[in-house]
Amino acid sequence: MTEKELMLSGQLYIAKDEELTEEFMRAKRLTRLFNNTTEEEAEYRAQLLKELFGKTGENLYIEPSFRCDYGKNISIGDNFYANYDCIIVDVCSVSIGDNVFWGPRVCVYTAGHPIDAGIRNTQLEFGSKVSIGNNVWIGGSTVINPGVSIGDNVVIGSGAVVTKDIPSGVIAAGCPCKVLREINEDDKRYWEEQAKKYRENKRTE
């Protein structure tokens, strides 16, 4: 197996490989171009992101600055928004569903390193894929660790360090991140009422 094949399959690999270096440098070029754009270049920004990522849906928006390792290993659904200073270390696949919104400085890490120092010092490393479902809000400064899966309809509180899977339909927060409670019908009724008040306020303008 090539180093890239080992990397993507979650096995030990060495990143200093010609193929991986070429793809890494491609991502560096595209993210540099993206991060140097101005607010008047929205279409160009979207074009760069679509070239960078493996798969994108409709309505993709990321605030510069943004960093990733390869880009090709990132798949994003419709209606994605990431605020400032997002980092995705995508040595394995990162799958993001529809209607996912991130606060500032959200970081997703798929890279891992051996606990044994002797093996780690040989530059061997590995990765574990990350999956994020649909309708997920992730608060600012959250860190999502390798191998984590987050379900649908989830809210992650700011500053969380997500080390284990999060099921669908919950609010979770903390370091390490833990489920606080399920999202329920009371939440739905409350926010529908707030939205109704908003619409009423707009009609009176």
Q: What is the pLDDT of residues 55-64, one digit of tens each?
A: 999 999 999 9
Paired residues of 68 in beta bridges: 88
Which range marks the domain in which residue 181 is found?
Answer: 3-203
Total residues found in the chain within this entry:
205
Round to the nearest angstrom and report the end-to-end CA distance of the chain: 65
CATH code, domain with 46: 2.160.10.10
pLDDT confidence bin for 144, thresholds 50/70/90? very high
Beta strands in 69-159 (DSSP E): 74-76, 80-82, 86-89, 94-96, 100-102, 107-109, 111-112, 124-127, 130-132, 136-138, 143-144, 149-150, 154-156
> Which residue among the candidates 32, 50, 55, 113 is catalytic per the annotation?
113
* Nearest by Cα to 9 from 70, 88, 92, 112: 92
Query: Structurally, how many domains does the chain consist of?
Result: 1
The CB density around residue 22, as the number of other CB atoms within 10 Å, is 9
pLDDT digits (tens, 9 = 90+) for 85-96: 999 999 999 999
* Nearest by Cα to 154 from 106, 101, 86: 101
pLDDT digits (tens, 9 = 90+) for 149-202: 999 999 999 999 999 999 999 999 999 999 999 999 999 999 999 999 999 988
* Residue 78 pLDDT exceeds 90: yes
Question: How deeply is 178 buried, as exposed, middle or buried, from its count of CB atoms within 10 A (0-12, 13-18, 19+)?
Answer: middle
Query: For residue 202, what pLDDT is reported?
Result: 83
pTM: 0.94
Query: For residue 205, what pLDDT is reported?
Result: 67
pLDDT digits (tens, 9 = 90+) for 105-116: 999 999 999 999
Q: Is 132 a catalytic residue?
A: no
